[in-house]
Amino acid sequence: MSSLQHGWQLHQAGEHHEAEMIYRQALLAPSQQANAWCYLGILFYDTGKFGDSLSAYEKAIALQPSFPVALSNRANTLSAMGKFEEAVASCDAALALKPDYATAWTNLGAVRTKMGEFDAAAECFRQSLEVSPDNNEPAHRNLGATLVRQGRFQEGSEQTARALQINPRNADAHRNRAIINLLRGEFEEGWEEYEWRWHCADLSLPTFDVPFYAGEPLEGKTLLLHAEQGLGDTLQFVRYGELAKRRGAQVVVHCQEPLCRILQSYEFSDAVIPRGAALPSIDFHLPMMSAPRVFETRLKSIPCQTPYLSADPFLQRRWATWLEKLEGLRIGLVWQGSRQHHADTQRSFRLTDLACLGRDEITFVPLQVGKEREQLASAPTTMHFADPGEQLDRDCGAFMDTAAIVSQLDLVICCDTAIAHLAGALHVPTWIALSVSPDWRWLLDRDDSPWYPSVRLFRQTKVQQWGDVMAAMADELGRVPSRIKPDPHSIRVEIGAGELLDKMTILEIKQQRMSDSAKLANVEIELEVLRQTQRHELPLTSRLEALFQELKAINEQLWDIEDQIRICEKQGDFGATFIELARLVYVTNERRATVKRQINDAAGSRLVEEKSYA
């Protein structure tokens, strides 16, 4: 075995320092220098030292210009550095030297995928399989992932399964299969597969001196619920602290430092501690995105009670003065997520894509931070903006000003980024624009989110085409009336979602059946007030719409039954017919109460009507 082969064995075993020493020793032999630099390039890439990796590959190629392995691997490093065009050129150079180089075709496909060129990427992976059809796990795995990004889920699933047939222990392929399972709502299989993420190169399970929580009794114990991925993931999955509290635990939330202040509002945590800070005594630890598996979450048991976060009252009052000056509907906007996100080319859009949403009676509040605020300089003239300015969240901490503003808006429209989770956690009406292949948490073929009752989803019908999404939003906005100032003599009271929709169905029935114009006018005023509240607080998802129609049909039956009872009373008929009608009243009311309860459950309503009988 050569020294470089020995170094590679150590490298693959994760003994990076020892491997580097061997590779550097090999540099002393002129005949091995090019190969040694190439191995160092791979090592530096694997350890995230992309600048050193690129330098090593350049030295290898300078020593041996016709070096397809170094050229192909250099493309991986350039891609990781965001230098996609240079990465494509490096792969092309490798393939010019060796057209049947399957790895170079796969690497080129991976770069094209990052660039959002999915058709070209899929063709590269097919080329890789053509030149190397046997046991080409990387090509099958990457082709599967690219097909999923194109919304071709069944084909993507088949390619992923083929990859796992070749290498059943490949963690990336298992994670890809988990994503497909979760998109389809197959939670039991999906959560299990998702645990493979800890064996992927881009993630590592933090180590603590306590066991990983696997469902043990928690009474009197302290659980560390810790963040693991993005800010939005933390905002979404911190909700599992409530389930741990129900089992008797003290819950310590361990999160990204920028989120500490906003997560202080989460009532089911006993402490919020930033990463890197000293920890209290704990008994178990649990990564937030492993919590759904441990708590056996299924579609119907998602903990969806919102709001579970709240804005700072002082900041709300401070921003209220500014917001009160804005005319019409006040709609928050976010169009760009982090460019470092692996799917950013799919999920983000440009501010100009929103031009069709503009209406005279709408004021748009840009919640975008960072460089992407520059797009405001060329904002569509069809839209009226009130900009909170670059100071947003600068002085008070991440999301603090944003939460204070969002909590007082009529609606938030955004791409799939952390603001979507913040608005959902605050129970603010939120419309999210989604790609053909969204993040797994948004599932498929539905316009609501079981995670956030106040969220509505608008999905692409064509890959990387936002026009249909924005047109659907514009059409829906056309049905939303401008905000009506509340009557100072009215009484405001919180009610459950089921009670609100029940009252609306009754008023709709009255509107259809009453003939007295004076009474009808009062009904229509009351109905419009309730409709405005419903549009703002309870956007009707397909599930809620179906329950609304079912409830209306039941109330129509009750109306008819009561009409017949009055006829019996008028005629003095209190016989069998009257008795049967009286019985139908309480039987039908039971059905009514059941549907109202289903509406409350679907909407995550805090107030739930209860019945009790002798």
Residue type, 383: M
**Distance (Å, whole) CA 93 – CA 70:** 10
In this predicted structure, the answer to whether residue 492 has a pLDDT above a threshold of 80 is no
Query: Taking residues 464-486, what's their average pLDDT?
Result: 82
Does 605 or 165 have the greater pLDDT score?
165
Minimum mean pLDDT among 377-381, 393-397, 584-588, 602-606: which range?
602-606
The token pair at 162 is: 């083929």
CA angle centred on 127, ends 126 and 128, rounded to 5°: 90
Which among 218, 257, 259, 222 is positioned nearest to 238, based on CA atoms?
Answer: 259
Query: Taking residues 461-467, what's their average pLDDT?
Result: 91
In which band, very low, low, confident or very high, does the pLDDT at 273 lie, cut at 50, 70 and 90? very high
The token pair at 96 is: 């010019």
pLDDT above 70 covers what percent of the chain? 97
| Residue range 320-342, pLDDT digits in tens | 999 999 988 999 999 988 777 77
Torsion, Cα of 111, 115, 118, 123 (10° steps): -40
**Cβ atoms within 10 Å of 43's Cβ, excluding its own:** 22
Tell me what pLDDT residue 517 has. Answer: 83
Tell me what pLDDT residue 490 has. Answer: 65
The pTM of the full predicted model, rounded to 2 decimals, is 0.78
Task: Please enumerate in sequence order all residues whose Cβ is within 8 A of that of 111, keeping only pairs 6 or more positions apart, or say none.
Answer: 75, 79, 84, 87, 88, 91, 121
411's enclosing H/E stretch is strand 411-414
**Distance (Å, whole) CA 526 – CA 539:** 18
The token pair at 24 is: 């550097």
Place of tokens 């009215």: 490
Query: Taking residues 537-553, what's their average pLDDT?
Result: 85
| Residue range 29-38, pLDDT digits in tens | 888 999 999 9
Query: Taking residues 480-486, what's their average pLDDT?
Result: 58
The token pair at 586 is: 């309480």
In this predicted structure, the answer to whether residue 484 has a pLDDT above a threshold of 50 is no
Which among 396, 235, 404 is positioned nearest to 310, based on CA atoms?
Answer: 404
| Residue range 201-225, pLDDT digits in tens | 889 899 999 999 999 999 999 999 9
Does 391 or 460 have the greater pLDDT score?
460
Handedness of CA 267, 271, 277, 282 (dihedral sign): negative
In this predicted structure, the answer to whether residue 309 has a pLDDT above a threshold of 50 is yes
Tell me what pLDDT residue 152 has. Answer: 95
| Residue range 19-69, pLDDT digits in tens | 999 999 999 988 899 999 999 999 999 999 999 999 999 999 999 999 999
> What is the bridge-based pairing of β-strands 362-366 and 329-334?
parallel
The token pair at 235 is: 């905002």
Q: Show the domains of the chain with their CATH numbers.
A: 3-182 (1.25.40.10), 222-301 (3.40.50), 313-477 (3.40.50.2000), 497-603 (no CATH)
Q: Mean pLDDT over all residues of the chain?
A: 92
Do the beta carbons of residue 311 and residue 426 sit within 8 Å? Answer: yes
Which among 316, 331, 315, 407 is positioned nearest to 366, based on CA atoms?
Answer: 331
| Residue range 561-614, pLDDT digits in tens | 999 999 998 898 888 998 898 889 888 999 999 999 999 888 877 777 776 656
Tell me what pLDDT residue 383 has. Answer: 94
Task: Please enumerate in sequence order all residues whose Cβ is within 8 A of that of 28, keeping only pairs 6 or more positions apart, or say none.
Answer: none
In this predicted structure, the answer to whether residue 487 has a pLDDT above a threshold of 60 is no
Query: Taking residues 282-299, what's their average pLDDT?
Result: 97
Report which DSSP code applies to 355.
Answer: G
